[in-house]
Amino acid sequence: MKVKVFSTPSCPYCVTLKEFLKEHDIEFEDIDVSQDKAVLDEMVEKSGQMGVPVVDIDGQIIIGFDKKKISQALNIKE
């Protein structure tokens, strides 16, 4: 399973999301869209959104820290 987190350092929801993934031992690629226009463009193209966080779980795009959707996509039992 491939998990990408599109985030910025100043986003509190991004921090919460990454902590949630770490708590559940989910490996993820943290992509800082504030430093790289190419990855920002990729995120906007995938999600249609400028806001972060955006999570890409094996091609399934979840916008924001939607704990329920993320848990379902990763088969995390809460």
pLDDT digits (tens, 9 = 90+) for 3-57: 999 999 999 999 999 999 999 999 999 999 999 999 999 999 999 999 999 999 9
Put residue 66 in one of left, alpha, beta given phi > 0 → left and psi -120 to 50 → alpha.
Answer: beta
- The predicted model scores a pTM of 0.93
Q: Is the pLDDT of residue 66 over 80?
A: yes
Side chain identity at residue 54, one-letter code: V
What pLDDT sits at residue 77? 84
Contact between 65 and 21 under an 8 Å Cβ cutoff? The reply is no
Domains defined for the chain, CATH in brackets:
3-74 (3.40.30.10)
